[in-house]
Amino acid sequence: MKHSGTISLDGQPQTDLVATLESGQTFQWDRRDAEMFSGQNNTNPVFSTVRQYNGEPVVVFVSESETGIRWESTRKSGEELVQRALRLDDNLQTITDDLTSKDTSGVLIEALTEFAGLRVPHDPLFSTIISFICSPQMRVSRIHGMVQRLAQSYGTPVEADEETFYLFPTPEQLAEATEDDLRELKLGYRAPYVQRTASAIANGDIDITNLPSETDEIRTRLKQCTGVGDKVADCILLYGAGNAGTVPVDTWIQTAVEEHYPSLMGESPRATAQNLEELFGSYAGYAQTYLFHYHRKHYGNA
């Protein structure tokens, strides 16, 4: 890798990349052998991704270091890509303090303490749409596998250091796939949803490049995609559109709210989401991610 560096995060908790990249918020980072990270003794896990950035494919590796985040990339723009993809402009200490002051039950404070360093990733929009269409009734590791197979089957290959990485397919590339093709990739009953959504975006029926400014209008737009309901739309808003104030309410969050914030229970998951968004403010999505991670770790089989 030609370019490398360390992004320092002074005064913030050390980033927990495993929790950030492997707990179901993003499916577009792959864990690698630590020895693939050259230039220093590094026993921490290394993750890679490849994506279009400023109109060119960029391969990036990241790993935790004592002083921040170590990165390597095929391009100089890799540093900026990492900055954006991990939302490093968000000061995690400031957000933690803010959410701590707003927590009415104490359980979020526990989660913030136990999983200090967990961040909210920001992925490209289209791949996030498809990833979360694949997510209902599915375990995190299997969603990751589905996304990997889509990239390898329909994405553009990118060579770097005698290794091949696959960009996530464009809408046009993915629209080439038939429903049966996608079933062969083990997408199951989500196959027609992915096929229809990719086609609708590719042929211009659904415009995701010029999104409205209002969150509610973006949600409405996203829900035009087959396979996208309220919860999936909120995941796309949070992880694919960089809307840090959005709270996806899934079964875990539902249970957490019933137990720890009963007064916030709404008539519908979306109504509950609104209550959480009002309580926790513009970084409510971080609160959601910490609560999700906490409950999955303690009560689930993650």
Partner DNA sequence: CCCCAGGCACCTC
Partner DNA sequence: GAGGTGCATGGG
How far is residue 216's CA from residue 226's CA, in Å, rounded to a whole number? 18
Question: Judged by CB under 7 A, does residue 24 bind DNA?
Answer: yes
Of 20-28, 59-67, 90-98, 103-111, the segment contacting DNA by CB under 7 A is 20-28
Q: Any contact of residue 253 with DNA (CB under 7 A)?
A: yes
CA distances from 224 to 46, 89, 160, 210, 295 (A): 37, 31, 37, 15, 31
- Give the residue with the Cβ less far from DNA, 62 or 247: 247
251 binds DNA (CB under 7 A): yes
Cβ contact 222:193 at 8 Å: no
Q: Which amino acid is at 249?
A: V
Q: How far apart are CA 137 and CA 156, in angstroms?
A: 29
Does 229 contact DNA by CB under 7 A? yes
Distance CA 194, CA 66 (A): 41
220 binds DNA (CB under 7 A): no
**Nearest distance, CB of residue 5 and DNA, angstroms:** 29
Minimum CB separation of residue 94 from DNA in Å reads 22
Distance CA 89, CA 136 (A): 31
265 binds DNA (CB under 7 A): no
Size of the site for DNA (CB under 7 A): 41
Q: Which residues ranging from 98 to 157 are in contact with DNA (CB under 7 A)?
A: 135-140, 142
Window of 34-42, 98-106, 157-165, 181-189 that interacts with DNA by CB under 7 A: 181-189
Scanning 12-20, 98-106, 207-215, 220-228 for contacts with DNA by CB under 7 A, the matching segment is 220-228
Binding-site member from 189, 205, 212, 265 for DNA (CB under 7 A)? 189
E strands, the chain, are 3-8, 30-32, 46-53, 56-65, 68-73, 157-160, 163-166
Give the span between the Cα atoms of 29 and 155, in whole angstroms: 15
Asked whether position 289 contacts DNA by CB under 7 A, the answer is: yes
Choice between 109 and 302, CB closer to DNA: 302
Sequence-separated (6 or more) residues with CB below 8 Å from residue 228: 129, 132, 133, 197, 222, 236
Q: Is residue 268 near DNA by the rule CB under 7 A?
A: yes
- Per CB under 7 A, residues contacting DNA are 23-25, 135-140, 142, 183, 186, 188-189, 193, 223, 225-233, 235, 248-253, 267-268, 288-289, 292, 296, 300-302
